[in-house]
Amino acid sequence: MTVTETAAAGRVDDLTPTLQVEHLEVTHRVRGDDRRALRDVSFQIGRRESYGLVGESGSGKSTVALALTRYLPRNGRVTGGRISINGQDPLAMDAEALRALRARTVSMVYQEPGKALNPSIRVGRQVAEVYEVAGLDRSAAQDKAEAMLRTVQISDPGRVMGLYPHQISGGMAQRVVVAMALAAEPSLLILDEPTTALDATVEAEVLDLVAALREDFATSVLFISHNLAVIAKMCDRVGVLYAGELLEEGPAQQVFEEPRHPYTVGLLRCIPRRGQRKDAGRLDTIPGFLPSPGHTLPGCVFAPRCPIAEQRCREARPPAFDVGPGRRSRCYLHDATSDLPRNTPVEVQLASTRDPAEVVVSLHDLSKTFTHGGESVRALVGVNLSLERGETLGLVGESGSGKTTLARALLGLVAPDEGSDVELDGTALAAEARRRPREQLKALQIVFQNPDSALNRRHTVRHLISRPLSRLAGLSGARLRERLTDLVRSVRLEERHLSLRPSQLSGGLKQRVAIARAFGGGPRIVVCDEPTSALDVSVQAAILNLLADLQAKEQVTYLFISHDLGVVRYLSDRIAVLYLGRVMELGPAETVFAGPHHPYTEALLSAVPSIDGQRADRIRLHGEIPSAADPPSGCVFHTRCPRRLSTGVCETTEPPLAQVAPGHLMSCHIPIDQLTILQRTGQDGD
Amino acid sequence: MGTYVLKRLGLALVTLWLLSVLVFFATQVLPGDPGRAILGNLASPSAVAALDHQLGVDRPLIEQYWTWVTGLLHGNMGVSTQFRAPVEPYVQAALVNSLKLAALAFVIVVPLGIVGGVVAALNYGRGADRVISVAGLSATTVPEFVSGIVVIVVFGVALKVLPVSASAGAGASPASQFQHLILPAIPLVLVLFGYIARMARAGTIEALNSDYARTATLKGLKRSVVIRRHVLRNSLLPTITVIATQTGYLIGGLVVVETLFNYQGIGNLIYTAAKSKDFPMLAAGVLVIGVVYMVATLIADILSTVLNPRLRLGGAE
Amino acid sequence: MTEVVAAPATAVTVVHGRGELPPWRLLLRRPTFIVGAAILLFWVVCAVFGHMIAPQDPLAQQLLATNKAPSGAHWFGTDQLGRDVFSRVIVGARSILIISFFATLLGTVAGTALGLTMGYLGGVVDIVGGRLVEAVLALPLVVVAFLFVVAVGPSPLTIIIVIGLVFTPLIARTVRSAVLVERQQDYLASARLLGENRAYIMFVEVLPNVLPVVLVEFTVRLGYAIFAIASLSFLGFGVQPPTPDWGADIFANYGVLPAGYWWMTLFPALAIASLVIAINLVTDSIEQVLAS
């Protein structure tokens, strides 16, 4: 049996930590150049403990996981330090011992569950393999695999066993990967961004599952994520990685409440929290950039970006100071972090008073049906929305909700169905951008999610920003150059960036170029389609500040799409919640967040983990988002709705989008008073 | 999947039709006056006109095409102008000979190419990989008549170990026939080796670097199991398609190789037909080559659909 | 506006990786490229200055010195008409290089235009083009070229046009799939929102991004062109005698191979081999550099 084998292989005693990492150093060789990816990283994970490693891109957090399992890329090697898993050192093992370690002691769950499964082998067989490695025969392994799939709450494991990976959803695939990882009953479970690719409600389910199974299996966990809130929710202790160094570690709650390293302080200040809004103050930022890979800074790696760095910080690398029980910080000035000066002043330029309800754009009965292989998929169904001058309308919803389709239909990048109507200042717009006159093109612009895709990599920044000036604003010669300089300055780029191409800029700078291009023609509405989700937290804050400033200055209207509710709340005046192409709820941002909410909004809000402790009123959605090709009858949300009425009306009749309070619309059969009571009871209950 | 196969068949028919137009155009329209071509410059105009009428080439093009195509559908490929006899027996005999040669080349090259590519991938970046890759690339790019001449010079002229001519003569034993086919097969093997090895190598490298190979390795599976069960299963799929596609190049190569080794195959048939301006024979030969190639591609497409669950079973939604 | 965004002096704003070299410098670091380019350069020099380099007149027949094995006077021996094989090999580089270069150029230009149009416009253009590609692909390249050269009669111009036309759909197919990848990119949506017309989007926005693919395609096809043209010559449907040409010379002399006169075929054969291998080494290096 696996249990006894695991015990024989690894279990030392309960006092030995499951994992000890001491002074780990990993180097990558890139074009004949040695680049240090990890430097002097030390931490340990106790029995049944859950440890979070948090860091931005380039911090080396995934390299830690790969080093632990000795699966570094070909050009990477451990150049120093020691690893001990249950008292065994994977770095010193021969191939057979390493294989046994991977089979019994360490398991891993990956970011992209779809890719982690072999596309040409049935799911059941892939899970069963783990038991076969442990010595079971094929049929016994199949039985165990089926039981394990049931353990990870797959309702029909017998059927799922016979499917191929492409036939199951991302959430289901991640359950299967978790099942494979836990099947060996490992001492250490490594999760590398396990929910980053998943939707919020699915993420919440998977996180709950991992938390529950960790208890059942008495497994220690190393949880790697860029998302501080997920770490706060899942981990007992946390380590903060930056540029390959562990800058701070300690109990998760303490680190997030009272950080003792300027980098941690900065990171936490970058995130819009506790309902912070654009009109109440700017987000703080971390200026500057991650040191280039292979840097040789003599002092603290964070010193170049640190607001309180002193001479000694730049000259000698700070040791890890003990800053409390179980807490360490690599900062000379760890006592000065509580009142760290801000990099960005808090005061904001308030938007000049908006003319109330001057509608710029309105959408009437906007529908879009795509045809895929003979199936029609209704991406948008009868959406009615209007955008007012100078406001931000936040668009919220999971994948398949139609957010992006709505934006593209508004811009004229996809033609909506017959009968849909998009109006600008009361004038109907042509369905296709190609047929719209210059004035209309000029009015509607977009900032895309991924600047690498949005900026033509063959063009210079100058060309990219000048083009809207000449095409839309009709400028040329000296007037164009003048406006270009203004524009570059207003998005806080520098003149020297003009001659560069996108590949020579960092992610944040590229997004500034994209913003400059969108604003070049003097738009009235700018669609922001997840403009910060490809960026690191520290860069996101500066971009959000910039968007808020530009809006205040230019009185431009934003249609702001994001899956990050904190970001949406920070920037939006009103919020529309989409589900399967329909508006479920629409209202002033604060009302939508404060409640009473539509049950779907409620579920979304409770699905999102928060750094500041978890909400008590958690409702969980089960199952997957239904396919838009075959939407449920009645209210499309009824299949997952925890508050579905017993009368059966939800299954049969689609509720209208009706006003429940001034400016607050909802599509739900449950009367608003009853929702209020239900949702308040939930809160009181805890 | 059934619909996929039907759709694929439909496309093949359209392609076949385009092919017939192409061949008709090249062999019946472009060459000009067939009667003059056959009888030569000294023949009298009336004799040429009489022959043209006899051959039917003085009728409208559409009508000629229709006659030609309906003839083809009834198995009537026309009358050879050089032999003054129906072309089918010639084409059939030649096709059988060519298939023998092609089969021999395939039997040698498919395992060789796959093993070569997989070995190169498993030794990625090391000496074995460089040697196999560069050798494969060089072998592939050299025209068959060039490598053919080299093997003739080495084995036939210098060492005198193998017969230089491909035909063993009438009534020769299978062993002797086989012996005669070895030298002509070598240039074909060389050309195909590079393609197959290159594809197998690329597929294997991709699979080795995949997330699922990582999952399998970190499950604690033996390396041999990871490679056999997880890597090769995915990496060899695209290789199958390439192998079938290469049938086309193989047949293209046959024209040259069969001419060089004087082997009575379909390549040699269209070559001699072209030399003697025997356009009905040329058209029949080229069409047969096109059909063989299309059938091979069709089989490959269907095969890779059957082997790939993603294509076989469709998506989740 | 007082937000501190300007980076401190020590920060690296431009994320140029260390030791990152432009593509052509990376090429020069690859031994396969150096070898390939050197051989290619040698043959180009022969093609341009062949008559000056060749020790003898490649057309001069010495009827008293036919079928002479390689010696100090005739490094590669003489052929059946007593012509100096070495001189014919040197001068023979010209015809094949010129014909294959222009054939490939024609195919690349036409194929790129067709591929861009098919990929970007889609619809009927794409469907018709797709069928055309299929039909051409349904026959081996050499056979198609052979068919048309036989039908029209061999001349350098015919060969250039036939090979170029045969290449066109093949190159179009590759360019088309590269364009389809670009079509997914948001920069095209941005261009549409700036009101750019289709020609501008195709040639100014998309084309520069698919040029690397076109370049690789050109070199790959150049190798094929030489392969095909040499094969045509060998079949007697390429360059016509007495012009020195490797394939044609092999055609003229391979009949006497069994008699032991190997030099008049082997040396032109090796010349062809070295040229195609050189081109493919260069192609392979370019592909690897662009992929990394």
B173-220 residue pLDDT tens? 777 777 788 888 999 999 889 888 988 998 999 999 999 999 999 999
Tokens encoding C277 = 């291998």
Q: Provide mean pLDDT across the span A282-287.
A: 85
Q: How far apart are CA A79 and CA A93, in angstroms?
A: 16
Chain centre to alpha carbon of residue A127: 28
Confidence of residue A426 (pLDDT cuts 50, 70, 90): confident
Judging contacts by C-beta atoms under 8 Å, the chain C residues touching residue A542 are 3, 5
Number of neighbours of residue B297 by Cβ within 10 angstroms: 21
Rounded Cα distance between B152 and B32, Å, is 39
The secondary structure of residue B166, as a DSSP letter, is S
**Lowest-pLDDT range, A182-186, A315-319, B4-8?**
B4-8
Residue A205 confidence (pLDDT): 86
For position B226, what pLDDT does the model report? Answer: 92
Nearest-Cα residue of chain C relative to residue A470: C194
Per the prediction, chain B carries an average pLDDT of 82
Cis peptide leading into residue C242 (ω within 30°)? yes
Measured distance CA(A30)–CA(B92) in Å, rounded: 59
Instruction: Give yes or no for B230 touching A (CB within 8 A).
Output: yes
Compute the mean pLDDT over every residue in chain C, rounded to the nearest whole number.
82
Residue C283 CA to residue C220 CA, distance in Å, equals: 6
**Strand, coil or helix: A634:** coil
| C139: confidence class by pLDDT, cuts 50, 70, 90 | low
Residue A6: pLDDT over 70 = no
- Name the residue in chain C with its Cα closest to that of A529: C186
Q: Give the closest residue to A117 by CA, choosing from B210, B304, B228, B309.
A: B210
For residue C255, count other CB atoms closer than 10 A to its CB: 12
Under DSSP, the state recorded for A351 is: P
Q: What is the pLDDT of residues A567-614, one digit of tens each?
A: 999 999 999 999 999 999 999 998 898 878 899 998 888 888 888 766
Cβ neighbors of C189 (< 8 A, separation 6 or more) are A408, A411, A413, A446, A448, A454
- pLDDT > 70: what percent of chain B? 88
Stretch C25-36: mean pLDDT, rounded? 84
% of residues, chain A, pLDDT over 90: 45
Query: Which pair of tokens denotes residue A422?
Result: 């998009």
Q: What is the pLDDT of residue A396?
A: 92
List, in order, residues 6 or more apart from C94 with CB less than 8 Å away.
C46, C47, C48, C50, C244
pLDDT at A10 exceeding the cut of 70? no
Higher pLDDT residue, A265 or C142?
Answer: A265
Return the SS3 of B316.
Answer: coil
Measured between CB atoms, does C254 come within 8 Å of chain B? Answer: yes
Amino acid at position B259, single letter = T
Interval C89-98: pLDDT, tens: 888 888 999 9
Whether B15 contacts chain A with CB within 8 A: no
Which of B 228-267 lie inside 8 A of C, CB atoms? Answer: 248-249, 251-253, 255-256, 259-260
Instruction: Judge: C142–B253 Cβ closer than 8 Å, yes or no.
Output: yes
Nearest chain A alpha carbon to C9: A304
Q: Which residues face A220 on adjacent strands?
A: A188
Question: What DSSP element (H or E) covers A44?
Answer: strand A33-45
Residues A216-236: tens digit of each pLDDT: 888 999 999 999 989 998 999
Q: Which of C131, C236, C272 sits opposite B146 (nearest CB)?
A: C272
CB atoms under 10 Å from CB of A158, counted, come to: 11
pLDDT over 90 (residue C251): no
What does the pLDDT look like over B119-169, one tens digit per residue? 999 998 788 888 888 888 888 888 888 888 888 888 877 777 777 666 666
Tokens of A174: 């991640």
Contact B286 C143 (CB under 8 A): yes
Q: What is the pLDDT of residues A309-338, one digit of tens each?
A: 889 999 999 999 999 898 999 999 988 887
Mean pLDDT of all residues in chain A? 87
Q: Does B220 touch chain A (CB under 8 A)?
A: yes
pLDDT above 90 (res C86): no
Closest residue of chain B to C248, computed from CA coordinates: B145
- Say how many residues make up chain A: 686
Copy the structure tokens of residue B61: 């093009």
Collapse the DSSP code of B161 into the 3-class scheme (helix H, G, I; strand E, B; otherwise coil) and give the result.
Answer: coil
Q: Residue A155: exposed, middle, or buried by beta-carbon count in 10 A (0-12, 13-18, 19+)?
A: exposed
Residues of A within 8 A of B218 (CB-CB) are 69, 71, 102, 106-108
* Rounded Cα–Cα distance for residues C272 and B141 (Å): 10
Please tell me the distance in Å from A35's CA to the nearest CA on chain C: 10
Distance of CA C74 to the CA centre of its chain: 32
A517 and chain B: CB distance < 8 Å anywhere? no
Residue B115: φ, ψ to 5°: -60, -45
Rounded to whole angstroms, how far apart are CA atoms B247 and B269? 18
Task: Residue window 158-177, chain B: list those with CB within 8 Å of chain C.
Answer: 158, 164
pLDDT at C26: 78
Pick from C14, C184, C189: which is nearest to A413 by CB? C189
Token pair belonging to A599? 């049950």
Show which of residues 228-287 on chain C sit within 8 Å of chain A, judged by CB atoms.
Answer: none
Sheet with strand A50-54: strands edge to edge: A106-109, A188-192, A220-225, A50-54, A237-242, A245-251, A328-329, A321-322
pLDDT of residue A586: 94
| Stretch among A190-199, A356-365, B233-242 having the lowest mean pLDDT | B233-242
Q: Please check the confidence at residue A262 and state whether its pLDDT lies above 60.
A: yes
User: Which residues in chain A have Cβ-Cβ distances shorter than 8 Å to B315?
Assistant: 166-167
Higher pLDDT, residue A79 or B85: A79
Residue A589 and residue C73: Cα distance in Å, rounded?
Answer: 95
Q: CB within 8 A of A471, min separation 6: which ones?
A: A438, A521, C194, C195, C196
Residue tagged 């090979």 (tokens): C163
Contact residues on chain C for A436, CB-CB shorter than 8 A: 195
ipTM topping 0.85 = no
Number of H helices, E strands in chain B: 14, 2
Length of chain B: 317
- Average pLDDT on B61-71 reads 83
Q: What is the distance in angstroms between the Cα of B317 and the nearest Cα belonging to chain A?
A: 7
* pLDDT at residue C50 greater than cutoff 70: yes
pLDDT of C133 > 80? The answer is no
**Is residue A44's pLDDT more than 80?**
yes
Question: How far is Cα A118 from Cα B215, in angstroms, rounded to an integer?
Answer: 9
Mean pLDDT of all residues in C219-234: 87
CA–CA distances in Å: residue C96 to residues A190, A543, A639, A680: 61, 59, 71, 85
- Strands (E) across C203-281 are located at none
- CA-nearest of A249, A257, A250, A266 to A309 is A266
Which residues, at least 6 apart from B311, have a Cβ–Cβ distance to it below 8 Å?
A: B1, B4, B304, B305
pLDDT in tens, A50-95: 999 999 888 889 999 999 999 998 888 999 999 999 988 999 899 9
Cα-to-chain-centroid distance, residue A453: 19
Determine whether B171 is exposed, middle or buried from the number of CB atoms within 10 Å of its CB (0-12, 13-18, 19+): exposed
pLDDT in tens, A394-425: 999 888 888 999 999 999 999 999 888 999 98
Are B315 and A102 an interchain contact pair (Cβ–Cβ within 8 Å)?
no
Q: What is the pLDDT of residue A235?
A: 93
Q: Do A318 and A249 contact (CB within 8 A), yes or no?
A: no
User: Which one of A120, A176, A178 makes the best mutation probe of the B interface by having the most chain B beta carbons within 10 Å?
Assistant: A120
Which residues does residue A363 pair with via DSSP β-bridges, in sequence order? Answer: A385, A422
**Chain A interface test: which of C193, C198, C206, C207 (most A C-beta within 10 Å):** C193
Is residue B315's pLDDT more than 60? Answer: no
pLDDT of residue A106: 92
Q: How confident is the model at residue B314 (pLDDT cuts 50, 70, 90)?
A: low
| Confidence bin at B249 (pLDDT 50/70/90) | low
Task: Give the rounded distance of the alpha carbon of C85 from its chain centre.
Answer: 26
Instruction: Tell me which H or E stretch contains C200.
Output: helix C198-200
Which carries the bigger pLDDT value, residue A523 or residue A622? A523
Q: Which of C5, C12, C20 sits opposite A492 (nearest CB)?
A: C5
Averaged pLDDT for residues A670-686: 70
Residue B50 has a pLDDT of 81
Each residue's pLDDT tens digit, A132-152: 988 889 999 999 999 999 888
pLDDT of residue A119 exceeding 70: yes
DSSP reduced 3-state for B260: helix
Beta bridge mates, A529: A561
Q: Which residue has the tokens 């400033």?
A: A549
Higher pLDDT among residues A554 and B170, named by residue: A554
- Average pLDDT on A668-677 reads 87
C5 confidence band (pLDDT: 50, 70, 90): very low
What would the two tokens of residue A566 be?
Answer: 């904190």
Q: Are residues A118 and B317, on separate chains, in Cβ contact within 8 Å?
A: no
Which chains have 3+ CB pairs within 8 A of B? A, C
Name subunits touching A (3+ CB pairs < 8 A).
Answer: B, C
Backbone angles phi, psi at A573, to 5 degrees: -95, -40
Separation between Cα atoms, residue A76 and residue A70, nearest integer Å: 10
| pLDDT for position A516 | 94
Query: What distances in angstroms separate CA A651 from CA A21, A103, A220, A640, B197, one per listed residue?
Result: 55, 47, 44, 11, 58
Find out whether A243 and A58 touch, Cβ atoms under 8 Å. Answer: yes
